[in-house]
Structure 1
Amino acid sequence: MSSIVRRRGSNGGKSSSSDWATRLYNVVVGVNGVNGVYGGRGLTTLLRLSVIVYLAAVFLLAFLAGRQRLSSSDKGIIDRIISPSSLLRGGSPLMCRQRRPPVVVAVVKGDSSPLERYPYMTSPVDVDHDFSTYNPPGGNRFAEYKDGDAPYLITSATLHMSDELARSRRIHVANAMKHVWKNYRAVYGKDEMKPMTGNGSDRWGGMGTTLVDSLDTMWLIGLKDEFWEGRDHVRDHLRFDNVGYVSFFETTIRNLGGLLSAYEMSHDDVFLEKADELGKRLAKACDTPSGMPHGSVDLRAGKSNNQLWNGNDYILAEVGTHQLEFRYLSRATGKRDYADKSMRAFDVLRALQPSDGLLFEHITEGKNNRPAFANGKVSFGAMGDSAYEYMLKIWIQGGRKEVVYRRMYDKAMTGMHEQLLHKSSLSGLTYIANRIDCRIEHKMDHLVCFLPGALALGAYTDPLGLDSPRARRDLKTARSLAYTCYQMYARTSTGMAPEYVRFEDENDMVVPRDAPYSILRPEAVEAFYYLSTLTGDPIYREWGWEVFQSIEKFCKTKYGYGGLKDVDMAGSVEDRMESFFLAETLKYLYLLFDPDSEIDILNKVLCLHVFNTEAHPLRIFED
């Protein structure tokens, strides 16, 4: 077995006549094909005709457009068409319209057409599957994915088999969530539960962070009784007037994001009322001369400050990772101030962005309270990562209309490709290095593994089209970088990834002495989810299943799941379970194996979502 040598940072839901026309059109033409499933023209006019004339016209339209249904014998590559009309139209932004069957996807146009069918399909997993028998298979497998190619023919039959296999796997991810929640009841309302002892702790201010962070995961998995029990706790016990200083960043993405997503899922006003109360208190951190939020905020007293450990500077990820949440809160409450404050901070980043698009980690207000960079480090890992993620997602959340933020993202991705993208000399693995002043640091955090998902999402929503050179570049990098992230897991004894790795000429992928641990981070399985959903390639479900089996065998405890002190040492479980393990890691794993999900990140249904950086799905605005 190959091994590795030794943070994260309104119509009230009623359908209009055109909706019914669109549904009728999809019944006739079929929505399991690929091209422009939302694209019927002149539907309103056609409704005025008789049913017979209407159906004949639709068949003629389908013929002229060259649309066709895909059968299980189809041998072609399935192309993805991005349709602007896939955005939610005419209705409350917080109410979901009728769901449509998913659109299957596969290889991007422009790839060389593979001839060999996908070869790695396996049998469905038994309900009583024994994870104790699992042995990590080792690294350097699936090397045909290393360079970002799409090596296999993915047919509709392949996708159907992959979906059936996935459904047998999602049961086990749901069981993992049930295992945790059964034991969390003993410390219900605590911020965290210790997986070795079952004790509770209030590490995040005593706001029930594990509960709030996990609400939408329970909803998506189908634990509705547990979800509504959590709602009652939020209504009756969640208070903020007795909470002192907390992290603005973590409280926004975990607590505020969790409340907003629970509201998005359930439309229960309890969650919105609590989110509004929390948002008012958090927004005090933005009352600075520049509009950039302080890193810490006292929810009780309404005070805020930056931390001494970072030289009293502002951190890039903190400045650029609260906009999705506050914009959604503005839309839901009608209070514009939330969005205005959050976007003022992001526009500071837009003004600071240099020609190469790459932003430094530390920012100061400088002389005369004018923001300026305070150091020379550029990283897509800790303290930088999610600011780049939100450049893309703000544009998506706004219905792809605020082009300045898409331009920020595209400029940053070009700078990343030109300055930070490297290949290891030994194995040819793609990785993203850091830049410190003019020096390259050949180190990659596990946190960087968010980037394949962002790159893939950016490629599939590229205004220039999926077959444009830019989108093809980004998707190829996404696939090759995802393979490196997979290798971070596959090359260890437990099949779990370390906190970060270094790339050295003589040893390739190296785990430094201060980074052998795992805290069950979600970024790799997040990338697998995006790539699986967008490209349709089943390989990402295989990689995710390997990760989940390792979690079950090496990280499961009597009460929950703990990280590992050393990913090359079985039995080194730590007595700590981050709330993001439930909010992100298990959620992305479940969605990876859930072809029937109500969540849509692109073009499958009329209810489109964008995830915040804590994996909380929020509705995209339709106007």
Structure 2
Amino acid sequence: MYGLRRSRALLLGLVLFAIGSVMYLKSENLTAGTVPIHQHFPHSGIRLEHDAVRYRAEAIREAYMHSWNGYMKYAFPKDELLPMSKRGGNSMSGWGASVIDGIGTAVLMELPEVVEQQLRFIADIDYTQCEHQISLFETTIRYLGGMISAYDLLSGPYARFIQGAKGQKNYELVQALLKQSVSLADALKWSFNTTSGIPMPFFMLHEKRIKSEDINNIAGVGTLVLEWTRLSDLTGDTQYANLAQRAQEYLLKVENPEIGEPFPGLLGTNLRLNDGNFLDSFGGWGAMGDSYYEYLIKMYAYDPQRFRRYLNRWIQAADSTMTYLASVPANLRGSNIVFVGEYSNGRSIAMRGSHLACFIGGNFLLGGQILSDMKYSIFGLQLVEGCRMTYANSPSKIGPERFGWDPNLVPSNQKKFFEKHGWYFTGEIDYRLRPEVIESYYHAYVVTKDDIYRQWAWEAFVAINSTCRTENGFTSVSDVSREDGGRKDDKQESFWFAEVLKYLFLIFNEHGIQAADKIGFVPGKNQKWVFNTEAHPIRIY
């Protein structure tokens, strides 16, 4: 069904786009399940009919197959497809990142032939050999997280889906996911062998040499604990959790808070490997800090008994963010729109943001549901609206990599744009197939059940499909301030499979195993799964 030739796939995409774009408006104020969010954030009144929702899910599934077929034709077994030059690239250790980043989404989309291809490839990877420089952070979230997630899914609600008629053979392939996770962790674990226990961020696998002067950042240290702890819980071998949690301690209790913690719970960015001391006081929810804060609340969701301290640190960071970093452009005051700034030199706040940081709305919504605290949910929805503006106002209808809202720094050629919209483009105006805005739409829909967030997600998909789609897959584009998105930059990121297409599919899919098992759709204290930062669903402890 899904092995369509390219011409049929493109035609199907256009047909589904036409059908799926139909939106139905109803005047009644719809409820949001058991979440009383509409008392504070009124429902939009938008309702999508079931046929439109179903067709949109199919369009997203078709986009996955279009991307996967292009990867298999021109790039397999390399890390990612370079669709314009019709070849493969190895930017993520050369172990086939797109396969492992993509398997969880293929499972959720119920694509058995694709999943079998992926399982057979993963079972044969030799994680003891690598000629490329390794990023511990990226390898953990993409490879280790991807394999553990696939194991949790295929040994759990999707067990029958993959076994089929081959039964025992496919059971062994599923078990190989856990075996390979151990093999990878064993290959990487020596990087924690520093004086402090804070791991090296980058290394060559064959060298096994620690440089005492090296540094790491808080995302690189604080975004390992979910995957490495889950591996320990699955295997019964505590060494993996102990390594990650020991490193995390330097972030839970800062050695030199006068530098490293300029606001309660909000940290600097870089710290030394040899003693764990912070080297700076700049940071925020963007690059090199983002997923540290994300994992604090997610670790509590994973196991509230073991990780209450993580929750307390998230609350500190969230409260400080609301107090010190939130701002609204003058011409947007009175609206529901909020941006979150960055800080440097201690308490100097900059009115600038990034696409990477736009996951923050979803993270606050998750925290609000877990804590049953409306203030975080309301703030989360305001942040979602802020990041939504960067999409809605861009000529391409896709948000840029970086943006600002400081009235004193508006570029002269954007003054009219700023006066109208309250923000402006900065130097980085490309789109790298990033998921964060759509990720926050997903959380907003889960919390409110308001179809406005589904509509916004669909509009984002339509824009991406229009500007980033190529004959062989999807690619990043250079300039979202242009209606056509600018130059196609020739890279289909592996997280396009793992995150963008997964969150889009989850927003629209109402059928099959995923919907029946409520994977991703039970907010707060009743949830059974938590997503790692690469959107790989991990079964909670």
CA contact (8 A) 2:352 2:406 kept: no
Residue-by-residue CA offset, 1:39-67 (whole Å, 9 max, x unaligned): xxxxxxxxxxxxxxxxxxxxxxxxxxxxx
Aligned to 1:197: 85
Using CA pairs below 8 Å that are at least 6 residues apart, which structure has the higher relative contact order? 1
- Equivalent residue, structure 1, for 2:179: 273
State whether residues 498 and 534 of structure 2, in contact with CA within 8 Å, keep that contact through their aligned partners in structure 1. yes
SS in 1 for 2:405: strand
TM superposition shift of 1:500: 1.0
- C-alpha change, 1:107 and 1:445, in structure 2 (3 Å) is same
**Structure 1 residues 605, 341: CA separation in 2 closer, same or farther (over 3 Å shift)?**
closer
* 3-state secondary structure, aligned to 1:618: strand
- Equivalent pair of 1:252/1:325 in contact (CA under 8 Å): yes
Q: 489, 497, 501: which is aligned to 2:403?
A: 501
Measured in 1, the distance between the counterparts of 2:236 and 2:521 equals: 25
Counterpart residue number, 1:88? none
What corresponds to 2:387 in structure 1? 485
Closer, same or farther: CA 607–357 of 1 in aligned 2, 3 Å: closer
Q: Give the secondary structure class of the aligned counterpart of 1:319.
A: helix
> CA–CA distance in 2 between the matches of 1:327 and 1:604?
21
Deviation, structure 1 residue 299: 2.7
Q: Please name the residue that 2:206 is paired with.
A: 300
Contact kept in structure 1, 2:29 and 2:45, CA below 8 Å: no
1:242 offset after TM fit, Å? 3.5
Look up the match of 2:497: 582
Contact 1:106 1:537 in 2 (8 A): no
Q: 2-side partners of 1:299 and 1:388: how far apart?
A: 28
Corresponding letter in the other structure for 1:200: G
Q: Deviations over 1:508-557 (max 9, x none)?
A: 31111x21111010001001111111221111101000000001111100
| Aligned-pair identity (%) | 28
1:526 to 412, 436, 439: 439
Distance apart, 1:413 and its partner CA: 0.5
Partner of 1:345: 247
User: Does residue 1:427 correspond to 2:341, yes or no?
Assistant: no
Q: Residue 593 of structure 1 aligns with which residue?
A: 508
Report how far residue 426 of structure 1 moved.
Answer: 2.1
Q: Aligned equivalents of 1:304 and 1:192: distance in 2?
A: 29
Tell me, in whole angstroms, the C-alpha distance in 2 between the residues paired with 1:293 and 1:604: 32
Q: Distance in 2 between matches of 1:402 and 1:533?
A: 24
Change (3 A) 1:606 1:371: closer
- Among 91, 109, 121, the alignment partner of 2:47 is 121
Given the alignment, which residue of 452, 455, 460 partners 1:542?
455
- Aligned 8 A contact 2:369 2:523 in 1: no
User: 1:120-172: CA deviations, max 9, x gaps?
Assistant: 335xxxxxxxxxxxxxxxxxxxxxxxxxxxxxxxxxxxxxx4x5532221000
State the Cα distance separating 1:109 from its structure 2 match: 7.3
TM-score of the superposed pair, with normalisation by structure 2: 0.82
Is residue 447 of structure 1 aligned with residue 356 of structure 2? yes
Aligned to 2:425: 511
Q: What is the rounded CA distance, in whole Å, between the counterparts of 2:72 and 2:251 in structure 1? A: 43
Alignment partners' CA distance in 2, 1:166 and 1:243? 45
SS in 2 for 1:265: helix
* Range moving further from structure 2, 291-300 or 539-548: 291-300
Q: Note if contact 1:563-1:574 (Cα within 8 Å) is conserved in structure 2.
A: yes
CA gap 1:252/1:303 in 2 versus in 1, 3 angstroms: farther
Bigger CA drift: 250-259 or 178-187? Answer: 178-187
Distance 2:425 2:527 in 1: 42
Shift in alpha-carbon separation, 1:545–1:238, aligned structure 2, 3 A: farther
Structure 2: gaps (5+ residues):
1-25, 156-173, 408-414
Out of 487, 502, 516, the position equivalent to 1:572 is 487
Larger fraction in helix: 2
TM-score by length of 1: 0.71
Equivalence for 1:257: 145
In the alignment, is residue 111 of structure 1 matched against residue 72 of structure 2? no
Which structure's CA Rg is the greater one? 1
Contact kept? 1:108, 1:472, Cα under 8 Å? yes
Shift of 1:331: 1.0
Q: Give me the whole-angstrom Cα distance separating, in 2, the residues matched to 1:182 and 1:269.
A: 26
1:154-553 matches, within 5 Å, as 161=49, 163-186=50-73, 187-267=75-155, 268-305=174-211, 312-352=214-254, 354=261, 356-365=264-273, 369-399=274-304, 401-428=306-333, 429-437=337-345, 438-462=347-371, 466=372, 471-505=373-407, 507=418, 508-512=422-426, 514-553=427-466
- Give the gaps of 5 or more residues in structure 1: 1-72, 80-103, 123-160
Deviations 1:388-428 (A, max 9, x none): 00111111111455211110100110111111111111223
The residue type paired with residue 184 of structure 2 is: L
Q: Deviations over 1:540-597 (max 9, x none)?
A: 1010000000011111001111111101231521111111111101111111111343
Aligned-pair Cα RMSD in Å: 2.3
